[in-house]
Structure formats: structure tokens, C-alpha cells
Amino acid sequence: MTVLAKGVAALDLRGRIVSEVVRITDADDSLEAVQFVFADGQSLTITVWTDWRLMVELRSEAVVPDYLWPVEDRTCTAIAGLSGAEKVVREVVSTLNDARVLVEVLFSLDGRSLLVKSFGGDLILELG
């Protein structure tokens, strides 16, 4: 598995086709990451890092990242309405805080919005 891009550079996704969006949770069902799986097999994973910023990685395949340890304790669940039907990424808007740290990303997928943000060290997912 190869990391193709990290951070804001990984968010250059306009026109990419999403085959599913997945919630990655821990044993307590707490949201650990959101993963976009693309039609070509690549994936974009977003999680909150230790300093409360969003960590974003574009990878060559869809796997649970090893920094979500232990990997075998993580559960992947497809998000209804964003999986199975291919959706095109129309827009990606990232928000930086005053310290120029990535804290929020808004995705527009064929008329559906999906907001992923860091709040108080927690990963928040809001569907519109």
C-alpha cells in the first residue's frame, strides 16, 4: 500500500468517482475515521490527529490505516446513501483554524453534502 498524498494536497478530488463512504469505528463504536473509497480502488482517509487537526491521506487501496491501532479492533460500516451508487466529487472546501491547521472539510457529492470536522479532539461527521 502506498500513500499518494497527505494533508490538504490529498483533497484535490474534484471529478473523482466515489463508490462508497465508510465509517471506521473502534470497539466502543466511537468514530475514528471516515474513508472515501474511489472507483479506481484508491481511498481517502480522514481522522483526528493527536493535536486535534485533521489528518488526511490518499492511499493506493482501501484499508484501515495502521495508526488506528489495533487495526483488528476497528469496524468499517458503509454509510447508507453514499455507498453502492457511484457519486462524483463536485466540490471540496477545507477550513483552517487561526493557526493554519486543517480542522474541517466539506464535500459535495452529486447534491449530497458531507462535513468532516475536528471538534474538541473528536471526529464529527454531518450528512446533509
Mean pLDDT by 10 residues, the chain (128 residues): 86 95 95 96 95 94 91 93 87 95 95 94 95
Exposed, middle or buried, 102 (CB in 10 Å: 0-12/13-18/19+)?
A: buried
Q: How far is CA 45 from CA 5, 98, 99, in A?
A: 11, 24, 23
For residues 105 and 33, give the distance between their C-alpha atoms in angstroms, rounded to a whole number. 13
**pTM score, whole prediction:** 0.93
pLDDT in tens, 57-87: 999 999 999 889 898 999 999 998 887 778 9
Cell 479532539 -> residue? 121
